[in-house]
Amino acid sequence: MTTNGIAVVTGAAGGMGAVIARKLHTDGRRVLLADLDGGAVDALASELSADGSTARGVELDVGHKAGFEEGLAVCEEFWGTPTILVNNAAVTQAADLMTLAEDDFTSVLNTNVNSIFFGCQVFGAAMADKGFGRIVNMASLAGQNGGTATGGHYAASKGAILTTTKVFARELASRGVTVNAVSPGPHDLPVVRRTVPADKLEGIIAGIPVGRLGSPSFIADTVALLTSDDAFFVTGACWDVNGGLYVR
């Protein structure tokens, strides 16, 4: 069983975030689309709901706790306390490990890890007060195998997300809130094609045991499943979707 619910998706302006937001909206959720690109999420929200009754965009910097506090306030003003949070926002960068600059390292960690930690903290507390919530954190294969095409700072941040997921899962389980992670490998998304040079992408695909890039729509389906009412018995888990690149 699944209730309609109220979902907040970060990094929803495009790519995986937009695919997830569309899926949750199609399933009957009211969806608040959050992103640094306010114009893009406003446009997508208008496409999904012309009158704004079931989808709205909000420009937020989720690299800081204040951004989540603002997002929670906006959501409560529109519809009430959210029942779903999808922490999808992230910075994806390739970089040489041994010459990686401190500022670049800090910037990626602040965005990728802060957005997960404070999202779980701020929204998790509000959900726990209501006795129900579903949080899904978007991790990555890079956080499990040390990364391939991405930089060490990205891999380190995604590894931290997996631990953060476990920490909040333990904290919130008894109050009706589940916290899980989804860990995709390379998927057929613009960010993959931007990050990986065209002359190397073919080799990366050849190295995937199933022989092809993943489908973003399946990730959205997975998020929808983990955020359903009946998903109460899954928490602290990491769901691997990597084409066989990492088997455990």
Domain ranges of the chain: 6-240
- Selected residue with higher pLDDT from 43 and 202: 43
Q: Which of these is catalytic: 154, 183, 222, 242?
A: 154
Among the residue ranges 21-30, 49-58, 129-138, 150-159, the one predicted with the least confidence is 150-159
Does residue 233 carry a pLDDT above 80?
yes
For 134-156, what is each residue's pLDDT tens digit?
Answer: 999 999 998 999 877 678 888 99
CB–CB of 241/188 below 8 Å? no
> Does 154 qualify as catalytic in the annotation?
yes
The domain at 6-240 falls in which architecture? 3-Layer(aba) Sandwich (3.40)
User: What is the total residue count of the chain?
Assistant: 248
Where does 52-190 show beta strands of DSSP type E?
Answer: 55-59, 84-87, 133-138, 177-184
CB–CB of 231/178 below 8 Å? yes
Q: pTM for the whole thing?
A: 0.94
pLDDT band at 67 (very low <50, low <70, confident <90, very high): very high
